Amino acid sequence: MIRIIVVDDQAMVRGALATLLDLEDDIEVVGQAASGTEALDLIAHLKTREIGVDITLLDVEMPHLDGIGTARRIATEHPETHCLIVTTFGRPGYVQRALEAGARGFIVKDTPLPQLAAAIRKVAAGERVVDPQLAVDSMTRGTSPLTDRETDVLRAAVDGGTIEDIAAAVHLSTGTVRNHVSAAMTKTNARTRAEAAHIARENGWL
């Protein structure tokens, strides 16, 4: 029996996935969580009851701790539990970041249930599973051209705000922030920092 937990901040989606997967003969849903932090707490709690979690299904965009950050922590804190990203946001940059964080697979939510169940079985068997089209897109677009600091600055710029606001958020001087914004705009071929942030987000680099 493959024991899994389903992690998604949308209750209806989370419940539907859990219900459908629990109907599979060899898959048992042992818990659900609405965020990455809840997932980590749940895995730890289940361990105290001697219930091992073989696979955690993770959405990407969640409050408190996103799916990629959660996958990274699970790989470190609970290496016996594999992560499979199941998300609406099929952005090429997310694929690479998720795999680098330790996830064993990445598929989109409109994947038919039989294929999702098959992906779970493959991950449980130690294989990697990546949506074929996303894999091609990821290789075609390549890795993120942004440095870590440029990424931090654009992430802070997503919600708008002045250069001073961004500088305060990332703990850098305004001059340094302007330099990073300028470099990021050049690399993304954007006319404004808002456009640069949008392009980076759409590619899954943030």
For 141-158, what is each residue's pLDDT tens digit? 667 788 889 988 998 888
Cα–Cα distance measured from residue 44 to residue 31, given in angstroms and rounded to the nearest whole number: 12
Going from the N-terminus, what domains does the chain have, and what CATH number goes with each? 2-141 (3.40.50.2300), 148-202 (1.10.10.10)
Residues 72-94: pLDDT tens digits? 999 999 999 999 999 887 777 78
Q: 107 - beta bridge partners?
A: 86
Structure-token pair, residue 189 = 């071929």
Structure-token pair, residue 193 = 């920092």
**Per-residue confidence at 203, pLDDT binned at 50, 70, 90?**
confident
Question: Structure pTM?
Answer: 0.71
Q: How many CA atoms lie within 13 A of 145 on its CB side?
A: 14
